[in-house]
């Protein structure tokens, strides 16, 4: 059974600092997603990572995928308050009966302080 684990679960950052959120998954995965969720809101898709070595960047966020290590990272550069949210990674596994179902990590609650 596919398991997805994130760390840290809580992250308190100062504005302007850099940090990385890690996402480990237990079985082969064909793609990896990163989502952002604001309190009480829906999931906003940030990145879709399709292959080993994939790197995507949007603003202050950069995501990467290492399928051999079964690891994805979400790097935050020069954090600003607007980035405060909960970040989830999710995997679809690979083939079999996974179909499209997403398995989510626990989420990382990011708080950016002045």
Q: Is 45 a residue that touches another protein (CB under 8 A)?
A: yes
Tokens of 53: 């070595």
Residue 9 makes CB contacts below 8 A (sequence gap 6+) with 106, 107, 108, 109
Q: How far is the CB of 17 from another protein (least distance, A)?
A: 27
The verdict on 93 binding another protein (CB under 8 A) reads yes
**Does 22 participate in binding another protein (rule CB under 8 A)?**
no
Examine residue 81 and tell whether it contacts another protein (CB under 8 A): no
In whole angstroms, give the CA distance from residue 99 to residue 50.
16
DSSP per-residue letters across 46-58: EEEE-STT-EEEE
Q: Which is nearer to another protein, 24 or 77 (CB)?
A: 24
Q: Which of 13, 32, 88, 108 binds another protein (CB under 8 A)?
A: 88
Nearest to 89 by CA among 23, 40, 31: 23
Q: Which chain residues interact with another protein by CB under 8 A? A: 30-31, 33, 40-43, 45, 48, 88, 90, 92-95, 97-104, 106-107
């Amino acid at each position: 059974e596919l398991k997805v684990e994130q760390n840290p679960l809580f992250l308190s950052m100062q504005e302007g600092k850099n940090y990385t959120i890690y996402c480990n998954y237990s079985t082969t995965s064909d793609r990896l997603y990163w989502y952002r969720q604001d309190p009480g809101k829906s999931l906003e898709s940030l990145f879709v990572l399709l292959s080993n070595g994939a790197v995507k960047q949007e603003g202050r966020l950069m995501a990467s995928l290492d399928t051999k290590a079964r690891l994805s990272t979400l790097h935050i550069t020069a954090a600003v308050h607007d980035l405060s949210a909960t970040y989830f990674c999710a995997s679809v596994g690979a083939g079999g009966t996974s179909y499209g179902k997403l398995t989510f990590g626990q989420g990382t609650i990011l708080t950016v302080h002045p």
